[in-house]
Chains A and B, each alone.
Chain A
């Protein structure tokens, strides 16, 4: 009678250990960090593969709502631009759906963390697909990368589809790849639409 009585707690303890191990191994707990290079080594070229990997990494941060990590991808004097017109020349003489210098982009990201951001209560869920990546020009440690994206946004029983072209100016720094600027041209940039709260 003694042996089975000992086995029961033993099994439970095993199960508990297994559960906790499984928990720590869950992919959702894994931290996604920007690509890095060691200071001592010369920076690798911004080739097609590294650019693609960077864009996928960025899209994943946004889909996972890790907006602080997303912000950290931008250079200190970066800007982020979503024009209101097709082929818009510049963000200064025509209005933009979003035009953020670094100071405003930080404010935007901080607001996204606020429980009082009523236009994000409930939160949007998004799913992004990035494709057709091409390097438009590259010199030294910088490259202009063009890609196509589709973003599905779901919030309060409504699903919206955004699609368009993203243009990134990427710079290889000692701390990894940084975005010097990003421009997002939506195919429906001049359509009437409800508020845009989650960045593209």
Chain B
């Protein structure tokens, strides 16, 4: 596809084909998921030598694995012989990888170790040739435990690609009194029939909760607090009620920030007293005491004053630090997406805090959540809607022309209901699609 993709943009508008054209999707898999730094997993998922975690980069099955020297690799989950998937379980520990077809065996870094019946191959068969390996991702880099991989040999280093969004990853870690976090508590996998970009375009959408989530807002508002709860229901109901924040609140109290390369975050819309800090909550008081004793009062104060809702690191990972949530978006097809949602444990924090995060995950990221199910419905409906040619151009122009430049090189929305973060992602998209790297193309903006 040698298109100039800028023809799919007009000021404040994007063409529906970005979300519905299989050919564009194929190009995205090469030029975005085949080039950008893609979040793969967290080092705590492969703590010990031999630990592995099977996942995907775009549609490609890969394995994140820690070798015997402690180094983390990302290798393609594919035997170099006949192409069969080698690692068949999602996670585990193995001294080496063996393909179940003909017994080709690989070291943990993907290099070929042994081949049964190896006298029968052609003369030029050379087990030390990299082509007989399980292919390694050419660039793998961890930022403080968050492992990213790029399928491109060259490109900007991870540090540069993340830029100021590193502060959102820092925020996840800083909140742990012991300065360490680990993936814990399982995973949600939700699926919808719609394009992968729709998910990211909803995560910082401050104009939708009051409308889409009306049913859960009203049900939660009407819920009597005197009914028995073991604590988990209370957190869920507080969260749903907070979604009732009026438009005036979003437009005056909450901000939205964007950064180069498609990244963005939404300011926190929860008053601490309502949700996270709940100053009278004994669990939070214990947590604060632990944080202050490990980091000092001033640093603890600084950490807790960083209040961000969803932080999106383009193109495939979103974080929410106050309840230690991380979501990974896996594009499957132009109209099929799977999202994996993880929870982290803050080391050194009270155990109940982690349990509160689990309750929060259930209501915000759960497959049976009273909130997320209506978001999934929206993605499905957009996919049905855009199959019509009735509206060729979709609006992403809210706040258009009112963005405020930031010293970081990014832009701040005039207020949190601005669609600046969508336009910012589309700018990065256009850069990748036209030039192979995120560009300040200012396509739809």
Digit string of B151-191 for contact with A (CB within 8 Å is 1, else 0)?
Answer: 00000000000000000000000000000000011111111
Task: Check B378 for interface membership: any CB of A closer than 8 A.
Answer: yes
Q: Which residues of A contact B227 (CB under 8 A)?
A: 76, 102-103, 106
Given contacts A110-B222, A117-B215, contact A95 B192 (CB under 8 A): no
Digit string of B373-384 for contact with A (CB within 8 Å is 1, else 0)?
Answer: 110111010000
Q: Which residues of B contact A108 (CB under 8 A)?
A: 219, 370
Complex alpha-carbon distance, A117 and B216, angstroms: 8
Given contacts A110-B219, A116-B218, contact A195 B367 (CB under 8 A): yes
Complex alpha-carbon distance, A108 and B371, angstroms: 10
Q: Which residues of A contact B230 (CB under 8 A)?
A: 79, 101
> Which of B231-239, B244-252, B254-262, B303-311 lies at the binding interface?
B231-239
Task: Check A94 for interface membership: any CB of B closer than 8 A.
Answer: yes
Q: Which residues of A contact B297 (CB under 8 A)?
A: none
Task: Check A91 for interface membership: any CB of B closer than 8 A.
Answer: yes
Q: Which residues of A contact B225 (CB under 8 A)?
A: 103
Task: Check B214 for interface membership: any CB of A closer than 8 A.
Answer: yes
Task: Check B362 for interface membership: any CB of A closer than 8 A.
Answer: yes
Instruction: Flag if B190 contacts A193 (CB, 8 Å).
Output: yes
B window 338-386: CB within 8 A of A = 338, 341, 343, 354-355, 358-359, 361-362, 365-370, 372-374, 376-378, 380
Q: Which residues of A contact B233 (CB under 8 A)?
A: 100-105, 107
Complex alpha-carbon distance, A190 and B90, angstroms: 11
Instruction: Flag if A196 contacts B367 (CB, 8 Å).
Output: yes
Complex alpha-carbon distance, A77 and B373, angstroms: 26
Complex alpha-carbon distance, A84 and B369, angstroms: 12
Complex alpha-carbon distance, A193 and B336, angstroms: 11
Q: Which residues of A contact B361 (CB under 8 A)?
A: 95
Q: Which residue of chain B has the shortest Cβ distance to A117 in the bound complex?
A: B215
B window 11-42: CB within 8 A of A = none
Complex alpha-carbon distance, A82 and B223, angstroms: 22
Complex alpha-carbon distance, A195 and B191, angstroms: 8
Complex alpha-carbon distance, A163 and B317, angstroms: 32
Question: For A106, A108, A118, A190, which residue has the most chain B Cβ atoms within 10 angstroms?
Answer: A118
Q: From residue B387, how far is it (CB to closest CB) to chain A in Å?
A: 14
Task: Check B240 for interface membership: any CB of A closer than 8 A.
Answer: yes
Given contacts A101-B232, A194-B190, contact A95 B237 (CB under 8 A): no
Question: For A91, A101, A111, A190, which residue has the most chain B Cβ atoms within 10 angstroms?
Answer: A111
Q: Which residue of chain B has the shortest Cβ distance to A98 in the bound complex?
A: B368
Q: Which residues of B contact A79 (CB under 8 A)?
A: 230
Q: How large is the interface on A (under 10, 10 to 19, 20 to 34, 35 or more residues)?
A: 35 or more
Q: Which residues of A contact B129 (CB under 8 A)?
A: none
Given contacts A117-B374, A119-B376, A196-B367, contact A93 B223 (CB under 8 A): no
Instruction: Flag if A95 contacts B366 (CB, 8 Å).
Output: yes
Instruction: Flag if B380 contacts A192 (CB, 8 Å).
Output: no
Q: From residue A180, how far is it (CB to closest CB) to chain B in Å?
A: 12
Task: Check B280 for interface membership: any CB of A closer than 8 A.
Answer: no
Task: Check A197 for interface membership: any CB of B closer than 8 A.
Answer: yes
Given contacts A94-B358, A98-B368, A196-B373, contact A85 B218 (CB under 8 A): no
What does DSSP make chain A's interface, helix, strand, loop or mixed? Answer: mixed
Interface residue tally for chain B (C-beta within 8 Å): 54
Instruction: Flag if A104 contacts B186 (CB, 8 Å).
Output: no
Task: Check B229 for interface membership: any CB of A closer than 8 A.
Answer: yes
Instruction: Flag if B232 contacts A82 (CB, 8 Å).
Output: no
Task: Check A99 for interface membership: any CB of B closer than 8 A.
Answer: yes
Instruction: Flag if B186 contacts A95 (CB, 8 Å).
Output: yes
Instruction: Flag if A194 contacts B237 (CB, 8 Å).
Output: no
Q: From residue B307, how far is it (CB to closest CB) to chain A in Å?
A: 24
Instruction: Flag if B188 contacts A84 (CB, 8 Å).
Output: yes
Q: Which residues of B contact A100 (CB under 8 A)?
A: 233
Instruction: Flag if B355 contacts A92 (CB, 8 Å).
Output: yes
Task: Check A191 for interface membership: any CB of B closer than 8 A.
Answer: yes
Q: From residue A43, how far is it (CB to closest CB) to chain B in Å?
A: 23
Q: From residue A169, how far is it (CB to closest CB) to chain B in Å?
A: 15
Complex alpha-carbon distance, A194 and B379, angstroms: 11
B window 188-224: CB within 8 A of A = 188-193, 212, 214-216, 218-220, 222-224
Q: From residue B438, how far is it (CB to closest CB) to chain A in Å?
A: 28
Instruction: Flag if B191 contacts A102 (CB, 8 Å).
Output: no
Task: Check A130 for interface membership: any CB of B closer than 8 A.
Answer: no
Instruction: Flag if B240 contacts A95 (CB, 8 Å).
Output: no
Task: Check B7 for interface membership: any CB of A closer than 8 A.
Answer: no
Q: Which residue of chain A has the shortest Cβ distance to B338 in the bound complex?
A: A192
Q: Which residues of B contact A111 (CB under 8 A)?
A: 215-216, 218-219, 370
Task: Check B119 for interface membership: any CB of A closer than 8 A.
Answer: no
Task: Check A61 for interface membership: any CB of B closer than 8 A.
Answer: no
Complex alpha-carbon distance, A117 and B369, angstroms: 12
Question: A residues within 8 Å of B by Cβ?
Answer: 76-77, 79, 82, 84-85, 88, 91-108, 110-111, 114, 116-119, 190-197
Which 3 A/B pairs are nearest by Cβ-Cβ distance? A195-B373, A104-B233, A103-B233
Question: Besides the contacts A97-B366, A192-B190, what 14 more A-B pairs have beta carbons closer than 8 Å?
Answer: A84-B367, A88-B186, A95-B188, A101-B232, A103-B228, A104-B236, A107-B236, A107-B240, A110-B223, A117-B215, A118-B377, A192-B189, A193-B190, A194-B193
A-B residue pairs in contact (CB < 8 Å), sample of 12 = A76-B227, A79-B230, A84-B187, A95-B188, A95-B365, A98-B366, A104-B232, A104-B237, A119-B376, A194-B190, A195-B376, A196-B368
